[in-house]
A and B are shown apart, each in its own frame.
Chain A
Amino acid sequence: MDREVLLEIRGLRIEGRSGEEWTEIVKGIDLTLHKGEVLGLIGESGAGKSTVGLAAMGFARDGCRISGGSIVFDGIDLRTISEKQKRDLRGARIAYVAQSAAASFNPAHKLIDQYCEAPVVHHVMGREEAERDAIDLYRRMQLPDPESIGFRYPHQVSGGQLQRAMTAMAMSCRPDLIIFDEPTTALDVTTQIEVLAAIRDIVRQFDTAAIYITHDLAVVAQAADRIKVLLRGDEVEEAETRQMLDAPREDYTKSLWAVRTFARAEQPPASGTPIVSVRNVTAAYGTVNVLEDVSFDIHAGRTVAVVGESGSGKSTTARVITGLLPPKSGEVLFEGNALPAALRRRTREQLRQVQMIYQMADTALNPKLTLRELIGRPAQMYLGLKGRVLEERVKELLNLIELDPATYIDRLPGELSGGQKQRIGIARALAAEPKLIICDEVTSALDQIVQEGILKLLNRLQEEFGLAYMFITHDLATVRAIADEVVVMQQGRVVEQGTKAEMFAPPHEPYTELLLSSVPEMDPDWLTRLLERRGAA
């Protein structure tokens, strides 16, 4: 890279406050960015990547402070200039795109008013010129109705469109550098593609340098020239994108790359009476049908993955099976016998057979109960265990989920890590000794390495106890790893179902095709090829 250096960070240290104490959360990061270059900053939660991104604007969030190092942007040291001078740079020469556009647009103003604010305040252009420019950029970002969309309020525009409008806004003063902070993480896969493509194009058109922050390797591979990997505030390694993907040097990076390699062994076709059959279920919230004629079976020892984007009805299906939402028509059979539709009509034995694990372990575990109480309660309630027997059972369950009973049994959920909490959710489900466990997006809130551990654990338990899983997810990589059968849902209907082998081999239903092809791959040319293919079709 022989272009001029735009941003140079040396020995950056940032501290965060917890209570009265300051702890270092960024521990001496170096970073060099050339003009027009895109740097991918990746790492798991707590790696400090957002903090570093904001520091590139000379900014630290409340409760954080930059405690060491230098940040030199185009010859200007951001650590020594005044607040006023920093304000003159922000928005004008360095811009920011936040993760949640819905929360980062001011709800009280129209999109275009927020667009025009920075150019007018920084005296880049007048109000009218800025409005014309906004419409031009909205068009380049491929927003629908570019002439009029700016005159809407944020709540009137969808999430993917807002994210593009925010990127357009960041571009309004034609900055030299844009910080993208997880811009596509909150979006569905099919929307993610559009936003990612739009961001990549606009950055190239204006030859803008960018720092692209994300936890998703495949996403960053599409946009970045170089990738830097962070772990707990330290740099692990940095390399050109292709080199990094082909030949990572460090063990940590290799483990990140390897996460998606776990796959469950192929199972023979299932036979016999299914554990649970969903038969022609139609369900509604109020008068709006959210499920239409949904049918599928789940057999013992098998995993059925239910896949779809937000609003597809996959969680609603789980609510029907558990009895939280009695269906309008259709029924749910358990081992061939119809289950009462409503939860309160089911017997304790029927309740015991179907257990649930939730996406957010934080909200699924009562923070005021110890692990002993959390895990012990189902065993006590369903199986009548008491005293010593109960304690032994809880310890046995803790061992099963690979947590040391002596250390953990009397802890509260707040004293555990995210992955450990999810394991407690699993132990609580196991304690009831059920036949079916419904896993609702159980890995999507976790870092990739932790995800893999959870998937392996679930797989081992399945083999050991012959459990059936209904695995609700939007992530096709997870499906590939763990499913035996797949049910694809869209807007409350099942669009396709079959074994994993059938699902991942053509021909596909159009929606399945769209879904499958939208999953980013670890190949820098993937997005380009996909867009060419879709353009040709």
Chain B
Amino acid sequence: MSGNAALGEAAILSGCSCYFGYPITPQNELTEYMAKRMGELGRVFIQSESEIAAINMVLGASVAGARAMTSSSSPGMSLKQEGISYLAADELPAVVVDMVRGGPGMGNISPAQSDYLQATRGGGHGDYKTIVLAPGSVQELTEVVPLAFDLADQYRNPVVILGDGMLGQMMEPVSFDNIKPPKEYPKDYTLTGAKGRPSRMVRSLLFDTKEEEEHNWKLVRKYQRMEQNEVRYETFLTDDAEMIVIAYGIGARIVKGAIKRLRQENMKVGMVRPITVWPFPAAILQELAKTVHDFFVFEMSAGQMIEDVRLALAGKGRIHFYGRPGGIIPTPVELYRIIGRHYYMAARRKEQ
């Protein structure tokens, strides 16, 4: 099954009752899958007139109490930022998928990781954050998608699934057995018509600056809870590692192949793969920095996550970097050569 289709099925099994999307490569298979399946199940599917309309339909469905999702790719994600900011301000749950492609501008339709900063810094206007999940395989989508819906409901905040064109397009065997029926969350904020209760209003306009500041601090406290409780990552061969590679998503998968080769030549390289790129797994890097000096950041971008690694390490150790922006997918052999060279130079530096 393709990653895009698997994502769609995982969303359906997670109780997604409304999907709104606008065509853009490389995530069209997801929209097409939802068109077919949501129709079969009698759930809501709309091909919207734009990404802006899609995210606002999500907002409407969410405030009406539904589990709603939209998906897009980089240029379309830029258009969705307005709506994501409103979802965060209104404290409404939603799942937004970004199958990243090369940019900026129109860019191309090849896999890339160059929307990292947009996704992890809020992306739209105002002081807000979204949890950003970065799955690395088709099977992992079946864990990440239900989690995304649950976290969105739990925190009443949009959650972003940050994939890339490769994850969306690749075909892998996948099992959905691990997805449990969706949990019930309190919906005391939804607009259902004021039947037998006082009327409700959902808004983000707060003219009173004190009120707006308090609302902002309330959101910040929520984001702090996310930072405390929702950090997720995978470690790979870190126990004896002398160099730690930090990579996420498909990038991490290529790195894994490279590390296997490096290990065959006794180069002690391990990896930390953030699964949540926000909140970023800073604590594990700080912990590893007690014994490891060399950290290697690989991204399919010109260097965005490296900012978070720098912040996490706070001057400790040495950070190496290799990036391939523009939709280039390096091979494991290429990464094996680059990481190996840096490993060798780091070892020589230690000897001196």
Question: Are A and B co-members of a single complex?
Answer: no
